[in-house]
Amino acid sequence: MGKEEPLQALVDYLAVDMQACNHVIMDRMQSSVPLVSQLAAHLIVAGGKRLRPLLTLASARLCGYEKDSADHITRHVRLAACIEFLHTATLLHDDVVDESMLRRGTESANAVFGNSASVLVGDFLFSRAFQIMTEDGSLEVMRIISKASATIAEGEILQMTVQNDLSTSISRYFEVIHGKTAALFAASCRVGAIVANQSRQHELALESFGTNLGMAFQLVDDALDYSAKQEELGKTIGDDFREGKITYPILIAYEKSTPVEKEFWQRVIQDGKQEKGDLKQALILIRKYNVIEETLKEAMVFANKASSALDVFPESELHTILKNIANYTVHRHF
Amino acid sequence: MGKEEPLQALVDYLAVDMQACNHVIMDRMQSSVPLVSQLAAHLIVAGGKRLRPLLTLASARLCGYEKDSADHITRHVRLAACIEFLHTATLLHDDVVDESMLRRGTESANAVFGNSASVLVGDFLFSRAFQIMTEDGSLEVMRIISKASATIAEGEILQMTVQNDLSTSISRYFEVIHGKTAALFAASCRVGAIVANQSRQHELALESFGTNLGMAFQLVDDALDYSAKQEELGKTIGDDFREGKITYPILIAYEKSTPVEKEFWQRVIQDGKQEKGDLKQALILIRKYNVIEETLKEAMVFANKASSALDVFPESELHTILKNIANYTVHRHF
């Protein structure tokens, strides 16, 4: 099986739902202020995998959700769009925070429209996400998503707090990625179960699937930034390195390094004093200590937990696809 | 009557409610991530008038709201805190957008903690506001506040769009200040009526009070930036001028100016080419055309509408205080 296939299988399985979701997204990003729609379109229309809304749609379907009202937009579709708005808002703000000039292979919104517009359109999309939730009307959904939203902000702030700090513990790193990534994955899945009126057990199983999938996803993302394979494929690597971001690969490499090598990490990460050739040296140390493999091994632990969490559901085509997705998350691009 | 007295009278009248609200604010801005609480405290503890939560508390009381549950935190107190969080979030983002280094007479959060932290803590407070609303549990309240929140972002973006543009119409300016200021004033008041289970008529009356009060408030704010009186009091003026912000005073002054004077405005506002002495020249033109008086006259129209909107309520001490507040909004600092 090709490496992209599990995700493509999910996209194919949910094609009708996703099309409906895209309609809601296009419709609800409209504003009487043209710049709002233009900037939102820059990011939303450009695409991305739409992984989070796919998880909401998939979770609802896995729980046997069928349209339950005369409303022409079904609940899972509406909430999937809400999740995508929330995610897009965080991306817009992240790019301002990281001063990123690229996003999804094209110029980032802040590079094109400026930081101010990115901050404010993020706020608009955030508000719109809450308006959509209000239309859905479930207090339980609102409680879960607003909590996830606060957790995302806390995760991002924690990440900023530990930047350049090589004494950061692995458990602190896990706290960061739980906040910045896994919390929204978890919420995306859980609300799918809620609209389908599933049992608490199934709701928590999907939440666990989302959490663990998100942890695996972020670990792999952090590994990819130091992957020679990525570089061979012509992709940019070393962004995290240049920012002095504290990620799993850095923590593992630092831990295993000799005192002299530790001095190198202290200079480039802790003190942020980087020179030409430093990334190359970092990659040499990362290869020397099998750091990518270690990171992927850790990611696989989470991916396996994600997969096991789905065992409470009966076998089905979608069930298989989702289990494959967990595995694929770790093996993508390798 | 001294000029500060109507606001002080409101603060005194609502002292017990406001103390409870401050407790909720202090309690709910806590986070496991220390930087979140520190930055929030920088802005929230420093104070400010707390005008918006006061409006929620006052509106509820004007509608005869009494504690209606065994909950030790009453609904109007909880929602007043929610409104203050939302307002604080927008202030944090505004200061990033405007690159302001001062806020409430002290260093702004972005000056102390940086733009990134301000963006992310704004997001946290925004999320927390929605969590508090979810705890309140009224879909109607959520609908009103989430809509106001989207309108605020649109107003801010519209303001950015018309920056430096002297061809902006007065009605477009009103659209900007309705979004950036009046929408939240309106929502603050309206939710007070909702928790008190008042009639639709009273709910809309309070919304109208808030809208018009907010419009008056922002017009006066925009006048103060060009007020010689303010300068005599040692306050900074000319911030809007330096940013090329399109406000009522600028639009009126430009409209009345001779062709030669118009060229001045075009250079300093449209082209943003400002030299030493330009603010002084702007103030001369503003005095020549009675622009401050015109702006305050317009503000008074809104203030009178705000006051009249309260006529559906029976006379009471609080009723009188709120009517005085409307008047005071225009006469403050003059």
Cβ separation A147–B139 shorter than 8 A = no
Least confident of A228-237, B4-13, B112-121, B127-136: A228-237
Give the mutation candidate from A121, A127, A132, A194 for the B interface (greatest B CB count, under 10 A). A127
pLDDT at A1: 40
Q: What is the mean pLDDT of chain B?
A: 91
Instruction: Tell me what pLDDT residue A289 has.
Output: 97
Predicted pLDDT at B158: 96
**Residue B318 reports pLDDT greater than 90:** yes
Residues of A within 8 A of B126 (CB-CB) are: 123, 126, 149
pLDDT tens for chain A, 334 residues long, are: 444 588 899 999 999 999 999 999 999 999 999 999 888 888 777 767 899 999 999 999 999 998 655 556 799 999 999 999 999 999 999 888 877 666 656 777 787 888 899 999 999 999 999 999 999 999 999 999 999 999 999 999 999 999 999 999 999 999 999 999 999 999 999 999 999 999 999 999 999 999 999 999 999 999 999 987 777 767 788 989 999 999 999 999 999 999 999 999 999 999 999 999 999 999 999 999 999 999 999 999 999 999 999 999 999 999 999 999 999 989 875 4
ipTM for the whole complex: 0.94
pLDDT of residue A67: 65
pLDDT of B168-197, one tens digit each?
999 999 999 999 999 999 999 999 999 999
Cα separation, A84 vs A57, whole angstroms:
12
Q: What span, in angstroms and rounded, lies between the C-alpha atoms of A90 and B130?
A: 16
Q: Do B142 and A161 touch (CB under 8 A)?
A: no
Indicate whether B232 pLDDT > 50: yes
Contacts of A150 in chain B (CB under 8 A): 124, 127-128, 131
- Nearest CA of chain A to the CA of B158: how many Å? 6
Give me the pLDDT at residue B68, please: 57
The pLDDT value recorded for residue B29 is 92
Residue B185 CB contacts under 8 Å (≥ 6 apart), including other chains: B52, B55, B210, B211, B213, B214, B217
Across the strands, what pairs with B259? Answer: none
Q: Which residues of B touch A (CB under 8 A)?
A: 31-36, 89-90, 93, 96-97, 115-117, 119-124, 126-128, 130-131, 133-134, 137, 139, 142-143, 146-147, 149-150, 152-154, 156-158, 160-161
Alpha carbon distance A5, A321 (integer Å): 9
On whether the CB atoms of residues B126 and A150 are closer than 8 A, the answer is no
Question: Which member of A131, A137, A156 has the closest CB to residue B150?
Answer: A131
- Among residues of chain B, what percentage have pLDDT more than 90? 78
| Contact criterion met (CB < 8 Å) for B149 and A134 | no
pLDDT tens for B25-63 read 999 999 999 999 888 888 777 767 899 999 999 999 999
Asked whether the predicted pLDDT for residue B95 surpasses 90, the reply is no
d(CA A157, CA A153): 6
pLDDT value at position A71? 59
pLDDT mean over B72-92: 92
Please report the domains of chain B, with CATH numbers, ordered by start residue.
5-331 (1.10.600.10)
Residue B50 φ then ψ, to 5°:
55, 40
- Which pLDDT does position A103 carry in this prediction? 62
Strands B102-103 and B106-107: antiparallel
